[in-house]
Amino acid sequence: MRLRQSIQFLCVLVLFATCAVGADDRVLMSASLDADASRAWAIYRNTQQEHLLVFIPPRDELPDIRYEPAQPGLVQAVRPLGRKLPVSIAALNDRVYLAYPPVYANERRLMRVYSLSLTPSPVGGVWVASSADRFDTEPAIVTNGSLIGLQGTSSAVWALIKDENRVTLSVLDRLDWQSVDLPESINTTRLELTAIGKHPVLIDRSGLRFVAHEFDPETGAWSEFPESIELSDAIRITAGTRALSVLDEQEPGKTRLRSWSPTGLFEIASGLDLPDSASIGALSSSGSLIAISIDRETAEGALEQPPASIEILELGLLDGAERYRGAPIATTPVSPEEFRFLVGMMMLIMMGVLIVVIMPDHSSAMHLPEGVVLADPGRRLIATMLDAVLVTAVVGRLVDVSAADILTLTVIMRPDNAWSVFPLVIITGLMYSTLTEALFGATPAKMLVGIRVVRARPGAPVRPSLWSSLVRNGIKWLLPPVAALALIDPETLHRGDRAARTLVVMPRPAQPDPRDSDEG
């Protein structure tokens, strides 16, 4: 008896593991229906066995927005989703919507919906999420039924819900989901939701042929495509801005691509090598059809689950020509060339620090001009901080990066190329300090706290030359740790001051008149 129970338990466990693998290897995909810069989203399990939300950036340019069009095959991992996966996703412009399995809350059965948007980084080619660590909450779908599909048009997000024998088409409003009546002519037994441009389209799969019904949100009218498609379980249909893309397998390894719209049904290409398990999305603005598939080859007798192989295939929507086939090309904040450049710069800076700090000071005595005294470290520190805030605020404003993120170095943790704002800050600060000190003897911050830079020589105070100002500020902005040694220097001088033979001074305090004390 125990042996039989053990065998039954083992069979159930194997069946559960098989189902879990099949569910985990499912790819969810949706593309936006924008006239310009169409983009797509996908959810799949990567080679590290993590479920990822993946962004497929536009392959073409968008007017008035600065970003680099992505090459075929390029994707960007947005964030892991954990164990709980959505049942459907939909793309609308720069935002993706995720619908999760139903839960009960306040005696109601809800399907929670969340969203996230990405915008192009002003500094690099990576897109930045609207929220760094969470999704935006959208109105939940209240239903006792199941979600057939979630679909974005060019202007709204639609949901097709089946509740017992009733099918409902709903559109996401600002505060709730609004239902749309379906005409009695539509057979609701087996429907599929897709879209063309701003119009949702219902595909009736219940008859001998596939029939498409298009809804116009502006007039509230339904219309049927004049052409229908032959019945087949191997047909896959994906949304587009001007037409639906229809893929059907004619024979193993040979797929036909057709365009289906109210104007007719047209064949684009045939004999395409397209995996039958691939999820499809169309980047209509760039004329690209993207297919993502997961291949997991299990050796005979193997008990462990093998790693997944993810493949992206990009085809031309108008000719079926293959543009890319292979593993996803992941975007990274730092390219290999940029990484080598940064390593080289860091080595040069470290060498400069060693030379400046270790090199003995052979300069002659530095004379204090008349009528001034050395500025105290407190004023110098305040002036430096104010200059840094001013420079980062200006640069951050120009490249749309928060000055607080720059000053606190949190910009380094961002998944885009915003970290490269630091060279801009250093160059801007160097030019700003050099020019203002050479022209006026002080930066605005130094003027505010009452200090200035002068040449270290007897006589009346004279502002530094352009070269001297460049030398002292070069060490200050390029080697901040070296400049910070001025705070502990007995003469409050850093290496830049000594190399440029300059002093940071303030007016000598007025001495009390001895006659005033005698009269008292």
Measured CA to CA, the distance from residue 112 to residue 100 in angstroms comes to 6
Of the pLDDT bands very low, low, confident and very high (cuts 50, 70, 90), residue 353 is: low
Compare 224 and 83 and report the one with higher pLDDT: 224
Is 80 exceeded by the pLDDT of residue 518? no
Both structure tokens of 402: 């928060």
What's the confidence (pLDDT) of residue 163?
Answer: 85
**At 206, is the pLDDT very low, low, confident or very high (cuts 50, 70, 90)?**
confident
Residue 424 near residue 411 (C-beta atoms within 8 A): no
Between CA 109 and CA 103 the distance in angstroms is 6
Q: What is the pLDDT of residue 491?
A: 66
For residue 416, the model assigns a pLDDT of: 52
Whole-angstrom distance, CA of residue 42 vs CA of residue 25:
12
Q: What is the pTM of this model?
A: 0.64
User: Cα–Cα distance between 70 and 34 in angstroms, integer?
Assistant: 16
Selected residue with higher pLDDT from 346 and 85: 85
- DSSP H or E segment with residue 440: helix 421-440
- Split at pLDDT 50, 70, 90, the class of 478 is confident
Asked if the model's pLDDT at residue 498 lies above 90, the reply is no
> What is the reported pLDDT for 216?
95
Residue 456 has pLDDT above 90, yes or no: no
Q: Which amino acid is at 154?
A: S
Instruction: Look at residue 41 in the predicted model and tell me its pLDDT.
Output: 96
pLDDT at 512: 64
In this predicted structure, the answer to whether residue 99 has a pLDDT above a threshold of 60 is yes
% of the chain beyond a pLDDT of 70: 78
Q: How far is residue 258's CA from residue 270's CA, in Å, rounded to a whole number?
A: 9
Which secondary structure element, helix H or strand E, spans residue 310, and what is its range? strand 309-316
How many CB atoms sit inside 10 A of residue 518's CB?
A: 7
Q: Does the pLDDT at position 349 exceed 80?
A: no
CA distances in angstroms from 442 to 166, 278, 376, listed in the order given: 77, 65, 15
How deeply is 305 buried, as exposed, middle or buried, from its count of CB atoms within 10 A (0-12, 13-18, 19+)? Answer: middle
- Per-residue model confidence (pLDDT) at position 339: 58
Q: What is the pLDDT of residue 225?
A: 96
Widest Cα–Cα separation across the chain: 118
Q: Is there a contact between 54 and 41 (Cβ–Cβ < 8 Å)?
A: yes
What tokens were used for 465? 């030359």
Return d(Cα 27, Cα 52) in angstroms, integer.
10
pLDDT at 354: 59
Rounded CA-CA distance 342/239 in Å is 44
Residue 322: which of 310, 311, 332 has the closest Cα?
311
Residue pointed to by tokens 């587009």:
240
Contact (Cβ atoms closer than 8 angstroms) between residue 85 and residue 43: yes
Two tokens, residue 449: 């706290």
Mean pLDDT in the chain? Answer: 82
76-94: pLDDT as tens digits: 888 888 777 899 999 999 9
Give the residue with greater pLDDT, 456 vs 413: 456
Report the alpha-carbon distance of residue 172 to residue 353 in Å, rounded.
59
Report the pLDDT value the prediction gives residue 20, as an integer from 0 to 100.
42
Could you tell me if 454 and 505 are in contact, meaning their C-beta atoms sit under 8 angstroms apart? yes
* Confidence label for 424 from pLDDT (cuts 50, 70 and 90): confident
Q: What pLDDT digit, counting tens, does each position of 8-62 carry?
A: 444 433 443 444 444 457 899 999 999 888 999 999 887 666 788 999 999 988 7
Q: Where are the domains of the chain?
A: 2-296+307-330, 336-507
Each residue's pLDDT tens digit, 230-254: 988 889 999 999 999 999 988 888 8
Query: Region 290-307: what's the mean pLDDT?
Result: 64
What does the block give as tokens for 348? 């040069």
Fold of 2-296+307-330: Neuraminidase (2.120.10)
Please tell me the predicted confidence (pLDDT) of residue 241. Answer: 95
Tell me how far apart the alpha carbons of residues 327 and 72 are, in angstroms, rounded to a whole number. 11
3-class secondary structure, 97: strand
Residue type present at position 269: A
* Residue bearing the bigger pLDDT, 53 or 407: 53
Can you give the pLDDT at residue 472?
Answer: 87
HSE-up (13 A, CA, CB side) for residue 72: 19
Strand ordering across the sheet containing 51-56: 28-31, 40-45, 51-56, 74-80, 329-330
Report helix, strand or coil for 281.
strand
What is the pLDDT, as a whole number, of residue 489? 66
Q: Which tops the pLDDT comparison, 106 or 223?
A: 223
pLDDT interval class at 302 (50, 70, 90): very low
Report the 3 state secondary structure along 460-482.
Answer: CCCCCCHHHHHHHHHHHHHCHHH
Instruction: Over range 408-434, report the average pLDDT.
Output: 77
| Distance between CA atoms of residues 30 and 95, nearest Å | 11
* Length of the chain (residues): 520
What are the DSSP calls for 103-171, one per residue?
EEETTEEEEEEEEEEEEE-SSSSSEEESSSS-PEEEEEEE-SSEEEEEEE-SS-EEEEEEETTEEEEEE
